[in-house]
Structure 1
Amino acid sequence: MRSTAIKLGAVLGAALALAFAGQAQAATTIGSGHVDVLAFSYDDTANALDINVHDEAAATTYEAADVVFDVHSGHLVNRPGALACKLDAGDNWVLPRTQTTGLIWAGWSTEDLTLADFGGSLNAELVDAVTPAGGNASVYDATTGVVRFHTDPACNASGTAITESHHHPTWVFTEPGTYELTFQVTGTHAVDGAVTSPEITYTFDVG
């Protein structure tokens, strides 16, 4: 009986451990509010660049792998015509450059590092993208028209210089479905020299 009890206890313990592990790995869904999607940081003790997600409303920083961005129907915008490498004609799902109640206000930030230590600039690259059939994602500055990132190689916007301490461009997704966008950032530190982050993948559920 004792042996059976020990075995039963071990089984129950393992089941509970798996349950808690599943809870710990559950994704945080963000569908509205001020969020620095690309929050760049630097650990000078490890000489390591990184990219995380900073939810301003919750004052919480997440690993990108632990977040799903819910680009819900509130973001849907219908265009009468296309804007090359920005928006398609017809339906687009748009994260606007200005804060709007109920929508994701998506930006990036270098506030967790000293940009001057990198000569005032980092280089962020969109190194990979998995998109729904026919879908593209673009990130552009509405005031200047400059496309900062685009999943279509023909748009020649796979990367951009990050010179801002805090910036909110316009993000566009042209088809419903799941987008997995992988970013990497590089820079030259005044003391530590050339540094590169890991490749970090972000998930956007659109529709």
Structure 2
Amino acid sequence: MLRTRARPWLVVATAVALVTTGAATTAMAEDQLVLDHGHIDAFTLTWTDNKLDLQLQEDVTGSHVLHAPEDVLLKVKPEAAFELPDPVPPALSFLGEPGEVIHHLPQTQDPNLIWPGWSTERIPGGVFTNPLRIDITEVTGPGNVFLWQTGAVGNPISVLNGGGYQLPGTISPNVGVHAHAEWAFSEQGAYTFTVVASGTLAGGGTATSVERAYTFQVGDVGEESPTTSLSVTGLADHYHSGDVVTLTAVQDPVTDLDHYHWFTRAAGTTEWQIVPDAGGARYSFTASAQHDGLAVIARLYDHDHNVVAESEPVTVVVDDHGEEPPPAASQEIEATLAENAGALVISVDPDDWRVLMSDLELGTSGDRWVSSGDLRPVMVTDTRSAAPGWTVSAQVGDFTAGAETLRGGSLGWTPVVAQQAEGAGVVAGPSVPSGFSGGDGLSAVSVLASAEPGTGFGSSELGAGLVIEAPTTLRPGTYTATITFTVI
């Protein structure tokens, strides 16, 4: 991530790219295409020859290339593995228990992973009444699959009819929608989705696509984890306060795996707690009377952070025989953070700075070209102890395609705060409509997000939904403009 040193104001720029030429082509019969990264509209609805179809659209091998879903394998790489924290946020408790590993595809694009979503942008206006339906009728695989979106304050939002987060389920988008979401798979292995699309025709009746099959390969299923058992050695019959307890995890047979986590359970409790910063085969601590009855286990993990083996619990006994604990000495440690310490930093990922908008298509009103997309993540980090607050604003220049020009005011947005530190208090700026029907759009300085004095600390991820509205007299071409962000 590109970082800029603290100054009274900081500027970082990214580009918005708009493609208006070229028609998407349907993939011909071919060997199964493996996609393990990039922008993918997995559930893309099309309307051709008065027939509704469900296809997969991707921007990996080209721009908006269509495939039959059966011809594509969507690979969720091992890098998507994520260990659930302790505690798991209550709103995300549906994902599992602390320490469990899921494979997670984020709503905001990670360029190293696939970014699947859905699109109804190829459906012409006036053919259907809203909403359409994408029915994921069956999911087969080794575990559970979850689908949801994250709101501006970090809480999950259901995208399925009737609420809930687990597939199977039904997504009901309107015509002209392009969306992405959070995905989570609870186990490694191959998953198959059975999916069908349908909608109510404006002239009466319904249209339904044929059933389609989608395949996700999650994790590195080609490698089997070694079979081994785990035990904990080094436990004494009992300890006195002040003794050092040293426990060692032992594999049988020994493998090349060396990633461990240790967990403890206090006497009289039922919940295991992970030991911070204990990732090796040895775990040591100084015994005290409070450790009497403490249960300890070790877990061994493979390279994808899956649990390979877990030890039986061992119980620590601390018995001081009624004696007072040995005398102890202490020292006070002091560190000072100066009032003027810290910095205000704004940045964009140098490998994720180009916004690829959808192709311009005739809007439902028939009087303008319309394109949509999402701003790439903008990161703001404020480590200033005084927390004076900040404002991020942006302004876009004109779009150009050779000698052709589209004014920057054609661009509008709806800002969001994708992530922020707990209690940071960052607020998204107001929506700015395209200036097509009057107004300046984003050609005038507009607020992306702000934090009042006393707030805005830590790191915040900002984004926005973008829309371009252009006159129907616009000449074909690929139009680009630069949007510049300023934090004060």
Normalising by structure 2, report the TM-score: 0.34
Residues 129/173 of structure 1: CA separation in 2 closer, same or farther (3 Å cut): same
**Secondary structure at the counterpart of residue 202 of structure 1:** strand
Count of residue correspondences: 177
Report the CA distance between 1:154 and its aligned residue. Answer: 9.7
Q: Corresponding residue for 2:236?
A: none
**Residue 124 of structure 2 is aligned to residue 114 of structure 1:** yes
* Aligned 1:125-164 pairs, distance under 5 A: 125-132=135-142, 135-143=143-151, 145-148=156-159, 158-163=169-174
Moved over 4 A (4+): 153-157
Are the aligned partners of 1:115 and 1:121 in contact in 2 as well (CA < 8 Å)? Answer: no
Report the CA distance between 1:106 and its aligned residue. Answer: 1.2
CA distance in 2, matches of 1:145, 1:34: 22
CA distance in 1, matches of 2:76, 2:132: 27
Select which of 182, 207, 214 maps to 1:195: 207
Are the aligned partners of 1:76 and 1:94 in contact in 2 as well (CA < 8 Å)? Answer: yes
> Matched residues, percent identical?
28
Q: Corresponding residue for 1:13?
A: none
Q: Corresponding residue for 2:81?
A: 76
**Residue 191 of structure 2 is aligned to residue 179 of structure 1:** yes
Report the CA distance between 1:26 and its aligned residue. Answer: 1.7
Q: Corresponding residue for 1:36?
A: 41
Are the aligned partners of 1:138 and 1:149 in contact in 2 as well (CA < 8 Å)? Answer: no
**Secondary structure at the counterpart of residue 178 of structure 1:** strand
**Secondary structure at the counterpart of residue 175 of structure 1:** coil
Structure 2: stretches of 5+ with no match in the other structure: 1-28, 220-488
**Secondary structure at the counterpart of residue 45 of structure 2:** strand
Deviates more, 1:71-80 or 1:117-126: 117-126
Are the aligned partners of 2:41 and 2:58 in contact in 1 as well (CA < 8 Å)? Answer: yes
Q: Corresponding residue for 2:383?
A: none
**Secondary structure at the counterpart of residue 197 of structure 2:** strand
Report the CA distance between 1:117 and its aligned residue. Answer: 2.7
**Residue 114 of structure 2 is aligned to residue 104 of structure 1:** yes
Are the aligned partners of 1:148 and 1:157 in contact in 2 as well (CA < 8 Å)? Answer: no
Report the CA distance between 1:173 and its aligned residue. Answer: 0.8
**Secondary structure at the counterpart of residue 127 of structure 2:** helix
Are the aligned partners of 1:177 and 1:205 in contact in 2 as well (CA < 8 Å)? Answer: yes
CA distance in 2, matches of 1:113, 1:64: 18
Report the CA distance between 1:112 and its aligned residue. Answer: 1.0
CA distance in 2, matches of 1:196, 1:95: 29
CA distance in 2, matches of 1:197, 1:102: 32
CA distance in 2, matches of 1:37, 1:189: 23
**Secondary structure at the counterpart of residue 99 of structure 1:** coil
**Residue 182 of structure 2 is aligned to residue 170 of structure 1:** yes
Q: Corresponding residue for 1:11?
A: none
**Secondary structure at the counterpart of residue 52 of structure 1:** strand
Report the CA distance between 1:76 and its aligned residue. Answer: 1.1
Report the CA distance between 1:98 and its aligned residue. Answer: 0.6
CA distance in 2, matches of 1:31, 1:154: 24
Q: Corresponding residue for 1:51?
A: 54
CA distance in 2, matches of 1:200, 1:111: 19
Residues 35/28 of structure 1: CA separation in 2 closer, same or farther (3 Å cut): same
Structure 1: stretches of 5+ with no match in the other structure: 1-23
Query: Which structure has the higher relative contact order (CA within 8 Å, separation 6+)?
Result: 1
Are the aligned partners of 1:70 and 1:204 in contact in 2 as well (CA < 8 Å)? Answer: yes
Aligned-pair Cα RMSD in Å: 2.4
CA distance in 1, matches of 2:117, 2:37: 12
Q: Aligned partner of 2:52: which letter?
A: L
CA distance in 2, matches of 1:66, 1:175: 23
Report the CA distance between 1:92 and its aligned residue. Answer: 0.9
Report the CA distance between 1:149 and its aligned residue. Answer: 5.0
